[in-house]
Each structure stands twice: as structure tokens, then as C-alpha cells.
Amino acid sequence: MKRRSSFLNTLNLTIEQLSKDISSGDISPLDLIEDTLERIAKLNPKLHAFITILEDYARQDAKNAELEIKQGKYKGPLHGIPVSLKDLIYMKGVRSTSGSKILSNFVPNYDSTIVKKLKNAGAIIVGMNNTHEFACGLTNINPHYGSSKNPWDTNRMSGGSSGGSAVAVSAGMTTASIGTDTSGSIRVPSSLCGVFGLKPTYGRVSKYGVQELAPSIDHIGPIARSPWDIAAVLQAIAGYDKLDSSTIDLPVPDYIKAISEEGGKEGKKGLDKFKLGIPIQFFFDIIDPKVMRVFEKFVDKLNGCGISAASVNMEHTDKIFDSWRAIRLGESATVHSEWMKSRRSDYGDNVISMLEKGMEITAVEYIRAHKMRKEIRTAFLKAMTGYDALLVPTTIIPAPLLNQTTVNINRDTIEVYHALSRLTTAFDITGLPALNVPAGFVEVEKDKLPVGVQLIGKPFDEEMLLRISHAYDEHYRVSEQIIPPLT
């Protein structure tokens, strides 16, 4: 393999580009990992994207990958590619803190299913990403390990709870990261940091070996710089797992083939057949006017690549918050009930406060919430009739300042947590696949801050979301343009 003496600018490279160069021998996995580790060492003290960096492990795996590829044993697009994990995904022999004091010294003695699949695909795990404590929040303000900083403005939040993952990808510290999403924790930081982030259908990706938050709405998915990259990672991690009873035994499509011009259901000529529905109710009731303008411009740009959008009616949107609240808070309190008794003082203030609210959820509320979630899911599926997917904003605000607790929208004062989660929780309780797509920028006090939109799909139709977003990305080269101002 060829050695490069010059620094590889990983900030501008995607898995799609790197995999071609690695498979052809133009880039050495060892060079790529060295450059990745160098960038992490340079930026992490400022951005706090990683809690643990696996230098020795990554170097050894890079050497192994280089040897395998030289021997003609190329495993596919993730072979030799640096990826990272949210620090609640278990990797044998590696500290897994869940962003908490309670698990600060916890070292699992087995690999999660996701880690096994990434290793089988040849991916090189370079570290564990910072997270909101126990994934129990959307700001990534962490009292134990420092708060991850938004690479577009380090005075602002990354969003969470997969904040370190989104920061690492946005800042070019890794090509992709695996996050979790219970209230929007993949999509919110992806929106605020300007990257693609997919919450797959509930049951598409195994949760075995991942610290729980609210088991019936916990999801695992990838954050990356392009739809092609998301497809490559999803290909590796998706599928039925006998160790996780929540996974569904369905075939996993060839996602990369599906989004290619040859592999799509209609091919290139079929792009004008993509139809998106935009719900009239709920999703635009409360939204920053600047974010709304970005959304409107995004819809206009869809026409440029042959994707149409029309308004649709939605039922039962008034039940979204109550359904999510009872399930999310009630299940989280159950997961943490023993630690709440024995280690209460070791929780951060905002996390213990939220868990205590969960202890107040009654059995009646919880059972009613599950009934409502079914009604909401049915309503979304009805709204998708005649459409390939739905389209809504991801967040109603751009990234808040690190010390902000409330935001003002049209004279209304809203808590930051509720502002960030308002438009994402519906797809956790319904389990529908949702993909954040970078939509544009909001200008705030001389800063350019990215915000995203969500594509919502039918159950297990991640393929359609990837095809639509890939068509958009191919036309406008989003993944090449949304690069934060870092040196």
C-alpha cells in the first residue's frame, strides 16, 4: 500500500471516498488511523467529543486491516475505516461510563452485537464518544466528563445525548459514530452539528450490550457525513439478533445498491417519483422563524432534484407528548430504581430530577401511553398513504448557548430540553425510521449554525429515506459543503 507523507484532511473525506482509496491501495489504513488520532488529539481538548481514545487498539487493528487487504481479504466499505461509539455501547475490555460517575470504572467483559458486527466488517474503533449522563438528556451538558462543544461555535451546545458522536463526525475526528436515540438523541445533535443521523425502525438494529434508558423506545443508529456513509454503516449493523428479542427477523436490504443509480427501484429516471408529505398539524405550531425559513427553502430546493412535497393532515398529534412522557420517564426510572436508592448523590442534578419525575408515573398513565402510541403510529402511517415519506423539521431552534436553560420563540419562553425534543419524540414512541438531513444555516449573532430536517419512513423502509436523501445530496453536494470552521 502507498504511504502518504502529507496529512490526510479527514474533515473533507467520506467513507465512500476513503473506502475506494483503501481498496485500491492508494491509502493505507495505518496512515488513515494515525491522521485520525492526530486530529482527535488536536481537537478533543477543545470539543470534548471523546471520553476514551483507543490509540493502541486502533493502531493494531489498522495494521491487521492493512495486512488483510494486501492479502486480498478486503471485507467491504468499512474495512480500515475509523468509527467511534457512544460511550454506553459495550466493547470488551474497554471502559464504558455511560457518561456517568456511577459507571466510571465499569469495564464490560463482552462485546455488544454492534461491536461484533463492526469488527466483522473491518471497521476500526478509535474511541468512545461523550454523552449526556446515562443518555438522559438532549443538551450533552455533562458534570462528570465535560460538555461536548458544537464545532460551529464552541460556546454552543452540541445537542445530545449522542452529542460527542455528532461532534466527532462533524469535526472530522471520525468518519462515523454509532449513537442511541430515545427522545431524539441521534437526530438532535445531527441537526445542530450539520451531519446525517439515522434512527432506524425499532427492531432493525440490536441493542444487546447497550446500556438501557427506556427499553421500549431505545434505538441504535449511525451518524455520518453522507447518506452513502449512513447506508454503509447500517448495512453492517442491521439485522435480527437472537440475543435481543426486540429485533425483527427480516431480510436486510443492500442499502448501498439501493441508493445507487442502477440499484434504485426506479433508477435515475425515477427521482421525480419521490413524493413527500408535510404534516400540517403540530410540527409548525412552535418554531423559530429563522428555522422555518430554512425549512421552506429546503422544500423549494427539493424541486431542483425532482422531489415533490405536499401538505397532509395528521390525527392524534395532541397525544404525542403525553405518550412519550409516561413511557420515557416511567421506564427510565425503572431502569435506575436501584441506583436511585444506593447512589443518588452520584447523579447529576438534571438527571436525578428527571428520574424522580419518572417515579411519579402511575400504572394507569403508563398503560394509557402505550395505547396512545399505537394510535399515533396508525395516524402517521395513514398520513403516508400515497407518499414515500414524510418531511418535518428536526429541531425548532438552532444550537443554544451552553449556559442557556430557556429559549424565546415568538414571545413564548420554552425550556431548552423541550425545544430540542419537541419534534423528535413522536418517532421514538412510534418506532418509525427517521433520518436527519442537513438543511441549511441560521445566522445568529454573526454565527452560521446548521439545522436539519427529518425524513420519516414506513416501518423498515430505511432504504427509501436513504434513496431520497442521496438524491438530494448528489444534486446539492451537501456533505461536501457543510464543513465547520475548524483548523
Catalytic residues: 86, 161, 185
**Is the peptide bond prior to 206 cis by the omega test (within 30 degrees of 0)?**
no
Could you tell me whether strands 447-456 and 434-444 are parallel, antiparallel, or unpaired per DSSP bridges?
Answer: antiparallel
> Cell numbers at residue 350, please?
438534571
Burial class of residue 76 in the structure, from the number of CB atoms within 10 Å of its CB (0-12 exposed, 13-18 middle, 19+ buried): middle
Q: Please give the single-letter amino acid code of residue 203.
A: G
Q: What is the dihedral of CA 452, 192, 98, 247, to 10 degrees?
A: 0
Residue pair 186/198 in contact (Cβ under 8 Å)? The answer is yes
> Cell numbers at residue 97, please?
461510563
Residue pair 163/181 in contact (Cβ under 8 Å)? The answer is no
- In angstroms, the CA 62 to CA 46 distance is 26
Angle (nearest 5°) at CA 166 between 162 and 167: 115
> Cell numbers at residue 345, please?
448523590
With a CB cutoff of 8 Å and minimum separation 6, the contacts of 376 are 316, 317, 319, 320, 323, 426, 429, 430
- In angstroms, the CA 393 to CA 60 distance is 42
- In angstroms, the CA 274 to CA 277 distance is 10
- In angstroms, the CA 439 to CA 369 distance is 32
Torsion over CA: 121, 127, 132, 134 (sign): positive
Could you tell me whether strands 176-181 and 82-86 are parallel, antiparallel, or unpaired per DSSP bridges?
Answer: parallel
- In angstroms, the CA 304 to CA 481 distance is 17
> Cell numbers at residue 486, please?
475548524
Torsion over CA: 142, 143, 145, 148 (sign): positive
Helix (H) or strand (E) segment spanning residue 389: strand 389-393
Residues shown for the chain = 487
- In angstroms, the CA 5 to CA 422 distance is 48
Residue pair 196/469 in contact (Cβ under 8 Å)? The answer is yes
